[in-house]
Protein backbone atom coordinates (compact mmCIF):
# COMPACT_ATOMS: atom_id res chain seq x y z
CA UNK A 1 0.00 0.00 0.00
CA UNK A 2 1.33 3.42 -0.98
CA UNK A 3 1.78 6.24 1.50
CA UNK A 4 -1.39 8.30 1.83
CA UNK A 5 -1.12 12.04 2.63
CA UNK A 6 -3.23 13.91 5.21
CA UNK A 7 -6.83 14.49 4.15
CA UNK A 8 -7.13 18.16 3.20
CA UNK A 9 -10.81 17.78 2.38
CA UNK A 10 -11.53 16.91 5.99
CA UNK A 11 -9.37 19.76 7.34
CA UNK A 12 -10.24 22.62 5.03
CA UNK A 13 -13.53 24.52 5.40
CA UNK A 14 -15.44 25.64 2.33
CA UNK A 15 -14.15 28.82 0.70
CA UNK A 16 -10.97 28.81 2.79
CA UNK A 17 -8.34 31.38 1.84
CA UNK A 18 -5.48 29.37 3.30
CA UNK A 19 -3.03 28.39 0.56
CA UNK A 20 -2.82 24.78 1.69
CA UNK A 21 -6.56 24.46 1.06
CA UNK A 22 -6.26 25.87 -2.47
CA UNK A 23 -5.57 23.83 -5.62
CA UNK A 24 -1.86 24.31 -4.87
CA UNK A 25 -2.17 22.30 -1.65
CA UNK A 26 -3.82 19.39 -3.46
CA UNK A 27 -1.28 19.54 -6.30
CA UNK A 28 1.55 19.60 -3.78
CA UNK A 29 0.36 16.49 -1.93
CA UNK A 30 -0.46 14.72 -5.17
CA UNK A 31 3.08 15.31 -6.47
CA UNK A 32 4.57 14.02 -3.21
CA UNK A 33 2.54 10.82 -3.60
CA UNK A 34 3.72 10.50 -7.18
CA UNK A 35 7.40 11.02 -6.36
CA UNK A 36 7.88 9.77 -2.81
CA UNK A 37 5.23 7.24 -1.78
CA UNK A 38 7.40 4.22 -2.62
CA UNK A 39 9.60 2.41 -0.13
CA UNK A 40 13.31 1.60 -0.17
CA UNK A 41 12.64 -1.69 1.63
CA UNK A 42 10.11 -2.72 -1.01
CA UNK A 43 12.63 -1.96 -3.75
CA UNK A 44 15.32 -3.98 -1.96
CA UNK A 45 12.96 -6.93 -1.66
CA UNK A 46 12.10 -6.70 -5.34
CA UNK A 47 15.74 -6.37 -6.38
CA UNK A 48 16.90 -9.47 -4.54
CA UNK A 49 13.80 -11.34 -5.72
CA UNK A 50 13.00 -12.23 -2.14
CA UNK A 51 9.55 -12.75 -0.77
CA UNK A 52 9.79 -11.36 2.74
CA UNK A 53 10.31 -14.26 5.15
CA UNK A 54 7.15 -13.17 6.90
CA UNK A 55 5.22 -14.77 4.03
CA UNK A 56 7.03 -18.12 4.06
CA UNK A 57 7.97 -18.44 7.74
CA UNK A 58 6.38 -21.57 9.16
CA UNK A 59 8.15 -21.87 12.48
CA UNK A 60 6.46 -19.52 14.95
CA UNK A 61 8.94 -20.13 17.76
CA UNK A 62 11.75 -17.70 18.42
CA UNK A 63 14.21 -16.87 21.15
CA UNK A 64 13.17 -13.23 21.37
CA UNK A 65 10.06 -11.43 20.18
CA UNK A 66 10.34 -7.65 19.85
CA UNK A 67 7.05 -5.75 19.69
CA UNK A 68 7.54 -2.54 17.72
CA UNK A 69 10.19 -1.45 15.22
CA UNK A 70 10.70 2.12 16.41
CA UNK A 71 13.82 3.81 17.77
CA UNK A 72 14.20 1.15 20.47
CA UNK A 73 12.98 -1.91 18.58
CA UNK A 74 15.35 -1.42 15.64
CA UNK A 75 18.36 -1.09 17.94
CA UNK A 76 17.35 -4.21 19.88
CA UNK A 77 16.82 -6.22 16.69
CA UNK A 78 20.29 -5.29 15.49
CA UNK A 79 22.05 -6.15 18.73
CA UNK A 80 20.22 -9.40 19.55
CA UNK A 81 20.30 -10.85 16.03
CA UNK A 82 24.08 -10.37 15.97
CA UNK A 83 24.16 -13.73 17.82
CA UNK A 84 23.54 -16.34 15.15
CA UNK A 85 22.26 -18.88 17.66
CA UNK A 86 19.30 -16.64 18.59
CA UNK A 87 16.20 -16.37 16.42
CA UNK A 88 14.63 -12.93 16.63
CA UNK A 89 11.16 -11.86 15.52
CA UNK A 90 10.18 -8.20 15.11
CA UNK A 91 6.49 -7.36 14.82
CA UNK A 92 5.59 -3.88 13.55
CA UNK A 93 1.98 -2.69 13.34
CA UNK A 94 2.77 -0.15 10.63
CA UNK A 95 4.04 -0.35 7.07
CA UNK A 96 7.45 -0.21 5.47
CA UNK A 97 9.03 3.22 5.82
CA UNK A 98 8.01 5.34 2.79
CA UNK A 99 10.42 7.51 0.81
CA UNK A 100 8.57 10.66 1.85
CA UNK A 101 9.98 10.18 5.35
CA UNK A 102 13.54 10.52 4.06
CA UNK A 103 13.04 14.10 2.83
CA UNK A 104 13.66 16.60 5.66
CA UNK A 105 11.41 19.24 4.14
CA UNK A 106 8.44 16.87 3.90
CA UNK A 107 8.23 15.99 7.60
CA UNK A 108 5.23 18.30 8.02
CA UNK A 109 3.30 16.45 5.31
CA UNK A 110 3.58 13.19 7.24
CA UNK A 111 1.65 14.44 10.25
CA UNK A 112 -1.90 13.16 9.95
CA UNK A 113 -0.94 10.86 7.08
CA UNK A 114 -1.24 7.07 6.82
CA UNK A 115 2.00 6.55 8.79
CA UNK A 116 0.76 8.52 11.82
CA UNK A 117 -1.19 6.76 14.58
CA UNK A 118 -3.19 9.99 14.86
CA UNK A 119 -3.51 10.11 18.62
CA UNK A 120 -5.15 13.05 20.41
CA UNK A 121 -5.45 14.00 24.06
CA UNK A 122 -8.65 14.01 26.08
CA UNK A 123 -10.15 17.42 26.94
CA UNK A 124 -9.48 18.60 30.49
CA UNK A 125 -10.73 22.19 30.57
CA UNK A 126 -7.23 23.54 31.24
CA UNK A 127 -5.31 23.07 28.01
CA UNK A 128 -5.73 22.76 24.23
CA UNK A 129 -8.85 24.95 24.64
CA UNK A 130 -8.77 26.45 21.13
CA UNK A 131 -8.06 23.14 19.43
CA UNK A 132 -10.84 21.14 17.77
CA UNK A 133 -12.66 19.32 20.57
CA UNK A 134 -10.19 20.89 23.03
CA UNK A 135 -7.80 18.05 22.14
CA UNK A 136 -4.11 18.33 21.29
CA UNK A 137 -2.59 16.24 18.52
CA UNK A 138 0.02 13.64 19.51
CA UNK A 139 1.54 12.26 16.28
CA UNK A 140 3.33 8.91 16.58
CA UNK A 141 5.06 7.07 13.76
CA UNK A 142 3.27 3.97 12.47
CA UNK A 143 5.92 2.41 10.22
CA UNK A 144 9.36 0.88 10.31
CA UNK A 145 11.46 3.26 12.36
CA UNK A 146 8.43 4.43 14.34
CA UNK A 147 8.60 8.04 15.45
CA UNK A 148 12.27 8.25 14.41
CA UNK A 149 10.84 8.19 10.87
CA UNK A 150 8.34 11.01 11.45
CA UNK A 151 10.03 13.37 13.92
CA UNK A 152 11.96 16.60 13.35
CA UNK A 153 15.38 14.92 13.38
CA UNK A 154 17.02 16.67 16.37
CA UNK A 155 19.68 14.55 18.08
CA UNK A 156 19.75 15.84 21.67
CA UNK A 157 20.60 13.77 24.72
CA UNK A 158 19.55 15.98 27.60
CA UNK A 159 21.51 16.99 30.65
CA UNK A 160 23.95 15.05 32.83
CA UNK A 161 21.70 15.75 35.82
CA UNK A 162 18.78 13.96 34.14
CA UNK A 163 20.47 10.59 34.30
CA UNK A 164 22.11 11.18 37.67
CA UNK A 165 18.59 11.89 38.96
CA UNK A 166 17.36 8.58 37.54
CA UNK A 167 20.12 6.86 39.52
CA UNK A 168 19.26 8.85 42.67
CA UNK A 169 15.69 7.55 42.39
CA UNK A 170 17.04 4.04 42.93
CA UNK A 171 17.81 3.04 39.34
CA UNK A 172 21.27 1.60 39.74
CA UNK A 173 23.36 1.73 36.58
CA UNK A 174 21.60 4.72 35.03
CA UNK A 175 23.86 7.62 36.06
CA UNK A 176 25.27 9.84 33.32
CA UNK A 177 28.71 8.27 33.60
CA UNK A 178 27.12 4.85 33.10
CA UNK A 179 24.83 5.74 30.16
CA UNK A 180 27.28 7.93 28.19
CA UNK A 181 29.06 4.89 26.65
CA UNK A 182 25.70 3.72 25.28
CA UNK A 183 25.01 7.08 23.64
CA UNK A 184 28.42 6.90 22.02
CA UNK A 185 27.97 3.28 20.97
CA UNK A 186 25.11 4.13 18.59
CA UNK A 187 26.49 7.42 17.30
CA UNK A 188 28.37 8.03 14.07
CA UNK A 189 29.02 11.74 14.31
CA UNK A 190 29.89 13.28 10.95
CA UNK A 191 30.39 16.89 12.11
CA UNK A 192 33.26 18.60 13.91
CA UNK A 193 31.74 17.42 17.20
CA UNK A 194 32.95 13.96 16.25
CA UNK A 195 36.48 15.09 17.09
CA UNK A 196 35.42 15.18 20.75
CA UNK A 197 35.74 11.47 21.54
CA UNK A 198 34.95 12.02 25.23
CA UNK A 199 31.32 12.83 24.44
CA UNK A 200 30.78 11.56 20.89
CA UNK A 201 31.00 8.32 18.99
CA UNK A 202 32.03 7.93 15.35
CA UNK A 203 31.72 4.20 14.77
CA UNK A 204 28.03 3.59 15.54
CA UNK A 205 25.19 2.92 13.17
CA UNK A 206 23.23 6.14 13.73
CA UNK A 207 24.42 8.93 11.44
CA UNK A 208 24.41 12.32 13.18
CA UNK A 209 24.97 15.34 10.94
CA UNK A 210 23.59 18.82 10.41
CA UNK A 211 21.35 19.25 7.41
CA UNK A 212 23.25 20.96 4.57
CA UNK A 213 20.91 23.88 3.89
CA UNK A 214 20.55 26.78 6.35
CA UNK A 215 18.60 29.94 5.59
CA UNK A 216 19.15 33.47 6.91
CA UNK A 217 16.30 33.58 9.46
CA UNK A 218 17.57 30.36 11.06
CA UNK A 219 20.98 31.98 11.52
CA UNK A 220 19.29 35.14 12.82
CA UNK A 221 17.76 33.21 15.71
CA UNK A 222 21.11 31.79 16.78
CA UNK A 223 22.86 35.15 16.40
CA UNK A 224 20.24 36.83 18.58
CA UNK A 225 20.89 34.36 21.39
CA UNK A 226 24.61 35.04 21.07
CA UNK A 227 24.00 38.76 21.36
CA UNK A 228 22.00 38.11 24.53
CA UNK A 229 24.87 36.17 26.08
CA UNK A 230 24.00 32.57 25.15
CA UNK A 231 27.04 30.99 23.49
CA UNK A 232 27.21 28.68 20.52
CA UNK A 233 27.81 25.35 22.20
CA UNK A 234 27.61 21.61 21.65
CA UNK A 235 24.82 20.86 24.10
CA UNK A 236 25.50 17.13 23.85
CA UNK A 237 28.85 17.67 25.55
CA UNK A 238 29.85 19.04 28.96
CA UNK A 239 27.48 22.03 29.15
CA UNK A 240 23.95 22.38 27.86
CA UNK A 241 23.21 26.12 28.08
CA UNK A 242 23.80 27.29 24.54
CA UNK A 243 22.51 27.81 21.03
CA UNK A 244 23.38 26.17 17.75
CA UNK A 245 21.96 24.63 14.62
CA UNK A 246 21.17 21.26 16.12
CA UNK A 247 22.67 18.06 14.84
CA UNK A 248 20.18 15.72 13.27
CA UNK A 249 19.67 12.02 12.66
CA UNK A 250 20.61 12.55 9.04
CA UNK A 251 23.33 12.13 6.46
CA UNK A 252 23.93 14.05 3.23
CA UNK A 253 20.58 15.84 3.32
CA UNK A 254 18.39 12.80 4.08
CA UNK A 255 16.79 11.41 7.22
CA UNK A 256 18.49 8.41 8.79
CA UNK A 257 15.82 6.81 10.96
CA UNK A 258 16.41 3.92 13.32
CA UNK A 259 15.11 1.71 10.52
CA UNK A 260 17.64 3.13 8.04
CA UNK A 261 20.50 2.96 10.53
CA UNK A 262 19.96 -0.28 12.43
CA UNK A 263 17.50 -2.45 10.52
CA UNK A 264 18.00 -2.07 6.75
CA UNK A 265 21.71 -2.99 6.78
CA UNK A 266 21.00 -6.36 8.45
CA UNK A 267 17.41 -7.23 7.60
CA UNK A 268 18.13 -9.03 4.35
CA UNK A 269 21.41 -10.60 5.48
CA UNK A 270 20.78 -12.22 8.85
CA UNK A 271 18.84 -15.44 8.43
CA UNK A 272 18.00 -15.53 12.15
CA UNK A 273 16.04 -12.24 11.92
CA UNK A 274 12.40 -12.14 10.84
CA UNK A 275 10.54 -8.86 10.40
CA UNK A 276 6.78 -8.71 9.94
CA UNK A 277 5.09 -5.43 9.06
CA UNK A 278 1.35 -4.70 9.32
CA UNK A 279 1.37 -7.08 12.29
CA UNK A 280 -0.26 -5.56 15.35
CA UNK A 281 0.31 -7.37 18.64
CA UNK A 282 -2.89 -7.45 20.67
CA UNK A 283 -1.88 -9.58 23.65
CA UNK A 284 1.15 -10.90 25.48
CA UNK A 285 0.69 -14.58 26.32
CA UNK A 286 1.28 -15.20 30.03
CA UNK A 287 0.86 -18.57 31.75
CA UNK A 288 -0.40 -19.36 35.27
CA UNK A 289 3.13 -19.16 36.62
CA UNK A 290 3.26 -15.54 35.35
CA UNK A 291 5.78 -16.29 32.64
CA UNK A 292 5.49 -14.48 29.30
CA UNK A 293 5.85 -17.10 26.59
CA UNK A 294 4.63 -15.42 23.41
CA UNK A 295 2.27 -12.97 21.75
CA UNK A 296 -0.96 -12.89 19.82
CA UNK A 297 -0.96 -10.61 16.77
CA UNK A 298 -3.23 -9.70 13.87
CA UNK A 299 -2.02 -9.69 10.28
CA UNK A 300 -4.17 -9.55 7.16
CA UNK A 301 -7.26 -9.87 9.31
CA UNK A 302 -6.12 -13.16 10.81
CA UNK A 303 -5.03 -13.88 14.37
CA UNK A 304 -1.58 -15.46 14.73
CA UNK A 305 0.54 -16.60 17.65
CA UNK A 306 4.29 -16.53 18.07
CA UNK A 307 6.19 -18.10 20.95
CA UNK A 308 9.34 -16.91 22.72
CA UNK A 309 11.80 -19.36 24.24
CA UNK A 310 13.59 -16.60 26.15
CA UNK A 311 11.83 -13.21 26.30
CA UNK A 312 9.10 -10.97 24.98
CA UNK A 313 10.33 -7.38 24.67
CA UNK A 314 7.76 -4.58 24.39
CA UNK A 315 9.06 -1.54 22.47
CA UNK A 316 5.85 0.07 21.28
CA UNK A 317 6.55 3.51 22.76
CA UNK A 318 4.92 5.55 25.50
CA UNK A 319 1.40 5.08 24.11
CA UNK A 320 1.33 1.59 22.66
CA UNK A 321 3.48 -0.18 25.27
CA UNK A 322 1.19 0.58 28.23
CA UNK A 323 -1.83 -0.16 26.06
CA UNK A 324 -0.49 -3.63 25.22
CA UNK A 325 0.44 -4.38 28.82
CA UNK A 326 -3.06 -3.49 29.99
CA UNK A 327 -4.70 -5.54 27.23
CA UNK A 328 -2.57 -8.43 28.51
CA UNK A 329 -3.73 -8.04 32.11
CA UNK A 330 -0.82 -5.99 33.43
CA UNK A 331 -1.97 -2.68 34.85
CA UNK A 332 -4.13 -0.97 37.47
CA UNK A 333 -6.39 -3.64 38.95
CA UNK A 334 -9.45 -1.41 39.24
CA UNK A 335 -9.27 -0.19 35.63
CA UNK A 336 -8.70 -3.65 34.16
CA UNK A 337 -11.46 -5.22 36.25
CA UNK A 338 -13.92 -2.61 35.01
CA UNK A 339 -13.13 -3.75 31.46
CA UNK A 340 -13.42 -7.46 32.37
CA UNK A 341 -9.73 -8.04 31.66
CA UNK A 342 -8.22 -10.77 33.81
CA UNK A 343 -5.61 -9.16 36.03
CA UNK A 344 -2.21 -10.86 35.78
CA UNK A 345 -0.27 -8.21 37.69
CA UNK A 346 -1.48 -5.05 39.45
CA UNK A 347 0.95 -2.31 38.38
CA UNK A 348 0.75 1.45 37.76
CA UNK A 349 0.85 1.05 33.98
CA UNK A 350 -0.25 4.20 32.14
CA UNK A 351 0.48 6.51 35.06
CA UNK A 352 3.37 9.03 35.31
CA UNK A 353 2.61 10.24 31.76
CA UNK A 354 4.31 13.55 31.03
CA UNK A 355 5.59 15.59 28.13
CA UNK A 356 7.46 18.82 27.43
CA UNK A 357 4.63 21.30 27.12
CA UNK A 358 4.70 24.52 25.10
CA UNK A 359 2.31 26.59 22.98
CA UNK A 360 2.06 28.33 19.62
CA UNK A 361 0.95 31.89 19.01
CA UNK A 362 3.81 34.32 19.60
CA UNK A 363 4.70 35.61 16.14
CA UNK A 364 7.93 37.11 14.79
CA UNK A 365 7.33 38.72 11.40
CA UNK A 366 10.05 38.69 8.75
CA UNK A 367 10.16 41.41 6.06
CA UNK A 368 10.43 40.52 2.38
CA UNK A 369 14.22 40.89 2.38
CA UNK A 370 14.52 38.23 5.09
CA UNK A 371 11.55 35.97 4.40
CA UNK A 372 12.10 32.78 2.41
CA UNK A 373 8.68 32.51 0.76
CA UNK A 374 8.55 31.46 -2.89
CA UNK A 375 5.86 30.85 -5.48
CA UNK A 376 3.81 27.68 -5.66
CA UNK A 377 5.53 26.74 -8.93
CA UNK A 378 8.93 26.97 -7.24
CA UNK A 379 7.79 24.69 -4.41
CA UNK A 380 6.58 22.09 -6.89
CA UNK A 381 9.80 22.33 -8.89
CA UNK A 382 11.87 21.84 -5.74
CA UNK A 383 10.02 18.55 -5.14
CA UNK A 384 11.13 17.37 -8.57
CA UNK A 385 14.69 18.68 -8.23
CA UNK A 386 15.36 17.05 -4.85
CA UNK A 387 14.26 13.69 -6.23
CA UNK A 388 16.88 13.92 -8.99
CA UNK A 389 19.79 15.11 -6.82
CA UNK A 390 22.65 12.73 -6.28
CA UNK A 391 23.85 14.87 -3.37
CA UNK A 392 20.80 16.18 -1.60
CA UNK A 393 20.86 19.93 -1.03
CA UNK A 394 18.57 22.92 -1.24
CA UNK A 395 15.48 23.93 0.75
CA UNK A 396 14.04 20.40 0.98
CA UNK A 397 17.28 19.28 2.63
CA UNK A 398 16.44 21.46 5.61
CA UNK A 399 13.99 21.96 8.44
CA UNK A 400 13.99 25.75 8.15
CA UNK A 401 14.03 27.34 11.62
CA UNK A 402 12.80 24.20 13.39
CA UNK A 403 16.23 23.01 14.50
CA UNK A 404 17.80 26.33 15.48
CA UNK A 405 17.57 25.05 19.04
CA UNK A 406 18.68 26.83 22.20
CA UNK A 407 18.75 26.06 25.94
CA UNK A 408 18.69 28.56 28.79
CA UNK A 409 18.34 28.71 32.55
CA UNK A 410 15.62 31.20 33.43
CA UNK A 411 17.22 31.59 36.85
CA UNK A 412 21.02 31.63 37.18
CA UNK A 413 20.80 29.54 40.35
CA UNK A 414 19.17 26.61 38.55
CA UNK A 415 21.42 23.55 38.25
CA UNK A 416 20.50 22.97 34.59
CA UNK A 417 18.39 24.50 31.78
CA UNK A 418 14.63 24.64 32.29
CA UNK A 419 13.69 26.00 28.83
CA UNK A 420 14.40 24.79 25.30
CA UNK A 421 13.46 26.95 22.32
CA UNK A 422 12.04 25.50 19.14
CA UNK A 423 10.22 27.23 16.30
CA UNK A 424 7.18 26.77 14.10
CA UNK A 425 7.53 28.28 10.65
CA UNK A 426 4.62 30.51 9.58
CA UNK A 427 2.93 32.17 6.66
CA UNK A 428 1.89 35.15 8.73
CA UNK A 429 -1.20 36.43 6.94
CA UNK A 430 -2.80 33.01 7.01
CA UNK A 431 -1.72 32.22 10.56
CA UNK A 432 -3.02 35.45 12.06
CA UNK A 433 -6.50 34.97 10.61
CA UNK A 434 -7.05 31.40 11.85
CA UNK A 435 -4.22 29.92 13.89
CA UNK A 436 -5.79 26.58 14.74
CA UNK A 437 -6.83 25.94 11.15
CA UNK A 438 -3.43 26.92 9.80
CA UNK A 439 -1.67 24.47 12.10
CA UNK A 440 -3.95 21.65 11.02
CA UNK A 441 -3.00 22.16 7.35
CA UNK A 442 0.65 23.14 7.83
CA UNK A 443 1.80 20.87 5.02
CA UNK A 444 4.37 22.91 3.10
CA UNK A 445 8.15 22.57 3.63
CA UNK A 446 9.40 24.43 6.71
CA UNK A 447 12.03 26.18 4.58
CA UNK A 448 9.40 28.56 3.13
CA UNK A 449 8.10 31.15 5.59
CA UNK A 450 7.77 34.83 6.43
CA UNK A 451 7.38 34.43 10.17
CA UNK A 452 8.27 32.17 13.06
CA UNK A 453 6.52 31.24 16.27
CA UNK A 454 9.11 30.86 19.05
CA UNK A 455 8.10 28.09 21.44
CA UNK A 456 9.53 28.11 24.95
CA UNK A 457 9.39 24.49 25.99
CA UNK A 458 9.14 23.57 29.67
CA UNK A 459 11.95 21.05 30.22
CA UNK A 460 10.99 20.24 33.81
CA UNK A 461 7.19 19.70 33.83
CA UNK A 462 5.67 18.81 37.19
CA UNK A 463 2.21 17.87 35.89
CA UNK A 464 1.54 14.17 35.42
CA UNK A 465 -1.19 12.57 33.38
CA UNK A 466 -2.25 9.03 32.62
CA UNK A 467 -3.29 6.69 29.84
CA UNK A 468 -6.30 4.36 30.01
CA UNK A 469 -7.84 1.81 27.67
CA UNK A 470 -10.92 2.99 25.83
CA UNK A 471 -13.90 1.28 27.52
CA UNK A 472 -15.86 1.40 24.24
CA UNK A 473 -13.04 -0.27 22.31
CA UNK A 474 -10.07 -1.45 24.42
CA UNK A 475 -8.19 -2.41 21.26
CA UNK A 476 -8.71 1.03 19.74
CA UNK A 477 -7.05 4.34 20.47
CA UNK A 478 -6.43 4.70 24.21
CA UNK A 479 -7.62 7.63 26.28
CA UNK A 480 -4.70 10.03 26.75
CA UNK A 481 -5.03 12.40 29.69
CA UNK A 482 -2.02 14.71 29.22
CA UNK A 483 -3.08 16.79 32.24
CA UNK A 484 -1.09 19.78 31.01
CA UNK A 485 -0.85 22.63 33.56
CA UNK A 486 -2.46 20.61 36.35
CA UNK A 487 0.44 22.04 38.33
CA UNK A 488 0.28 25.82 37.66
CA UNK A 489 4.00 26.14 38.27
CA UNK A 490 4.49 24.64 34.81
CA UNK A 491 3.64 28.07 33.39
CA UNK A 492 6.65 29.68 35.08
CA UNK A 493 9.48 28.47 32.78
CA UNK A 494 7.34 29.25 29.73
CA UNK A 495 6.58 32.80 30.89
CA UNK A 496 10.18 33.50 31.87
CA UNK A 497 11.48 31.94 28.66
CA UNK A 498 9.25 34.10 26.48
CA UNK A 499 10.01 37.26 28.45
CA UNK A 500 13.69 36.61 27.72
CA UNK A 501 12.93 36.08 24.04
CA UNK A 502 10.93 39.32 23.89
CA UNK A 503 14.15 41.23 24.62
CA UNK A 504 15.43 40.16 21.19
CA UNK A 505 13.32 42.96 19.73
CA UNK A 506 16.03 45.38 20.89
CA UNK A 507 19.00 43.39 19.60
CA UNK A 508 21.08 44.59 16.69
CA UNK A 509 20.48 41.17 15.13
CA UNK A 510 16.70 41.60 14.89
CA UNK A 511 17.12 45.18 13.67
CA UNK A 512 19.58 44.10 10.97
CA UNK A 513 17.20 41.42 9.67
CA UNK A 514 14.14 43.66 10.10
CA UNK A 515 12.37 41.13 12.34
CA UNK A 516 9.66 42.31 14.73
CA UNK A 517 6.95 40.87 16.99
CA UNK A 518 3.35 40.96 15.84
CA UNK A 519 1.94 42.58 18.96
CA UNK A 520 -1.64 41.68 18.29
CA UNK A 521 -3.62 39.85 20.95
CA UNK A 522 -5.13 36.84 19.22
CA UNK A 523 -8.37 34.97 19.77
CA UNK A 524 -9.43 33.91 22.37
CA UNK A 525 -7.14 36.16 24.41
CA UNK A 526 -8.03 39.57 22.92
CA UNK A 527 -9.01 40.98 26.29
CA UNK A 528 -5.43 40.57 27.62
CA UNK A 529 -2.57 42.90 26.77
CA UNK A 530 -0.08 41.24 24.43
CA UNK A 531 3.05 39.97 26.13
CA UNK A 532 1.81 40.09 29.72
CA UNK A 533 1.91 37.08 32.01
CA UNK A 534 -1.87 36.85 31.78
CA UNK A 535 -1.76 36.87 27.97
CA UNK A 536 0.91 34.16 27.87
CA UNK A 537 -1.08 31.95 30.26
CA UNK A 538 -4.27 32.45 28.23
CA UNK A 539 -2.50 31.56 24.98
CA UNK A 540 -0.74 28.60 26.58
CA UNK A 541 -4.10 27.22 27.68
CA UNK A 542 -5.69 27.92 24.28
CA UNK A 543 -2.95 26.85 21.86
CA UNK A 544 -1.19 24.26 24.00
CA UNK A 545 1.20 22.17 21.98
CA UNK A 546 2.95 18.90 22.61
CA UNK A 547 6.58 18.72 21.58
CA UNK A 548 5.95 15.02 20.92
CA UNK A 549 8.07 13.80 23.84
CA UNK A 550 5.65 11.66 25.88
CA UNK A 551 7.36 9.41 28.42
CA UNK A 552 6.92 7.63 31.72
CA UNK A 553 3.91 5.33 31.28
CA UNK A 554 5.88 2.18 32.19
CA UNK A 555 8.04 3.84 34.80
CA UNK A 556 11.41 2.38 35.77
CA UNK A 557 12.04 2.27 39.49
CA UNK A 558 13.15 0.18 42.46
CA UNK A 559 10.77 -2.32 44.04
CA UNK A 560 9.89 0.16 46.81
CA UNK A 561 8.44 2.59 44.23
CA UNK A 562 4.70 1.87 44.03
CA UNK A 563 4.51 3.62 40.64
CA UNK A 564 7.27 1.52 39.07
CA UNK A 565 6.35 -0.91 36.29
CA UNK A 566 9.84 -2.15 35.40
CA UNK A 567 12.97 -2.63 37.50
CA UNK A 568 16.33 -1.02 36.63
CA UNK A 569 17.04 -3.91 34.26
CA UNK A 570 13.74 -3.12 32.50
CA UNK A 571 12.00 -6.33 33.62
CA UNK A 572 8.27 -6.03 34.30
CA UNK A 573 7.60 -6.54 37.99
CA UNK A 574 5.85 -9.82 38.76
CA UNK A 575 6.05 -11.27 35.23
CA UNK A 576 9.00 -13.38 34.16
CA UNK A 577 10.68 -13.09 30.76
CA UNK A 578 9.01 -9.80 29.92
CA UNK A 579 10.72 -6.42 29.52
CA UNK A 580 9.69 -2.97 28.35
CA UNK A 581 12.44 -1.12 26.52
CA UNK A 582 11.54 2.30 25.12
CA UNK A 583 10.83 5.90 26.23
CA UNK A 584 7.91 4.77 28.40
CA UNK A 585 10.36 3.58 31.09
CA UNK A 586 11.76 7.06 31.77
CA UNK A 587 10.97 7.96 35.38
CA UNK A 588 11.49 11.65 34.54
CA UNK A 589 11.80 13.09 31.03
CA UNK A 590 15.25 14.24 29.93
CA UNK A 591 15.92 17.90 29.20
CA UNK A 592 15.67 17.70 25.43
CA UNK A 593 14.37 15.62 22.55
CA UNK A 594 13.77 11.95 23.25
CA UNK A 595 14.94 9.90 20.25
CA UNK A 596 18.63 9.81 21.26
CA UNK A 597 17.83 8.76 24.86
CA UNK A 598 15.45 6.09 23.54
CA UNK A 599 18.26 4.58 21.46
CA UNK A 600 20.50 4.72 24.53
CA UNK A 601 17.85 2.89 26.57
CA UNK A 602 17.69 0.19 23.89
CA UNK A 603 21.48 -0.16 23.77
CA UNK A 604 21.61 -0.60 27.54
CA UNK A 605 18.60 -2.91 27.53
CA UNK A 606 20.21 -5.08 24.86
CA UNK A 607 23.28 -5.45 27.04
CA UNK A 608 21.11 -6.51 30.00
CA UNK A 609 19.56 -9.23 27.84
CA UNK A 610 22.83 -10.40 26.29
CA UNK A 611 24.61 -10.54 29.63
CA UNK A 612 21.80 -12.51 31.25
CA UNK A 613 21.25 -15.11 28.54
CA UNK A 614 24.87 -15.66 27.55
CA UNK A 615 25.82 -16.13 31.19
CA UNK A 616 23.14 -18.80 31.61
CA UNK A 617 25.11 -21.22 29.48
- Decide: helix, strand or coil at residue 326: helix
Strand 273-276, strand 88-91: pairing: parallel
Rounded to an integer, what distance in angstroms lies between the CA atom of residue 545 and that of residue 471?
A: 26
Counting Cβ atoms within 10 Å, is residue 543 exposed (0-12), middle (13-18) or buried (19+)? buried
Which position among 165, 200, 354, 549 bears the catalytic label? 549
Rounded distance between C-alpha atoms, residue 571 and residue 396, angstroms: 42
Residue 335 pairs in a beta bridge with none
CA distance 3 to 1: 7
Residue 187 β-bridge partners: 206
Asked if 153 contacts 254 with a C-beta cutoff of 8 angstroms, the reply is no
Distance CA 69, CA 414 (A): 38
Strands (E), 12-168: 61-67, 88-91, 119-120, 137-138
Q: Please report the DSSP string for 168-188 in residue order.
A: HTT-TT-SHHHHHHHHHHHEE
391 given a catalytic annotation: no
Contacts of 522 (CB under 8 A, 6+ apart): 361, 432, 435, 539
Count of other CB atoms within 10 angstroms of residue 66: 31
The reply, when asked if residue 441 is annotated as ligand binding, is: no
What's 357-381 look like in SS3? EEECCCCEECCCCCCCCCCHHHHHH
Distance in angstroms (rounded) separating the CA atoms of residues 239 and 263: 32
Q: Residue ranges for the binding site?
A: 281
Q: Residue ranges for the binding site for FAD?
A: 281
Residues that are catalytic: 549
Amino acid sequence: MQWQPPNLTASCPAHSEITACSPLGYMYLSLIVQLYSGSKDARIQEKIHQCPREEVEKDEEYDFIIVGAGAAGCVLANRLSAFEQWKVLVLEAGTEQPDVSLVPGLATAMLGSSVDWGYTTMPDGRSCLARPGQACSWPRGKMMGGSSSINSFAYIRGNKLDYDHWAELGNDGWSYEEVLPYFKKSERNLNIEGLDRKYHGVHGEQSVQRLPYTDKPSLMLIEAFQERGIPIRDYNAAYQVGAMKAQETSEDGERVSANNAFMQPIRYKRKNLTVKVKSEVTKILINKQKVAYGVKYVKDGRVHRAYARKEVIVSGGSINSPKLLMLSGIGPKKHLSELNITVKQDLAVGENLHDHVTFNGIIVVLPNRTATTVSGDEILQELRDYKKMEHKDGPLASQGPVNSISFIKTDPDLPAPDVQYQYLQLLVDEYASNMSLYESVNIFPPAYYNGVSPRAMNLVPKSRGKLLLNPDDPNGKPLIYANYFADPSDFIPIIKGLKFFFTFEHTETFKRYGAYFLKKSLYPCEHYEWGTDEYIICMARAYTSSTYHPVGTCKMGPSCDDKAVVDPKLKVYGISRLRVIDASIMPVVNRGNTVAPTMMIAEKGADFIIDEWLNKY
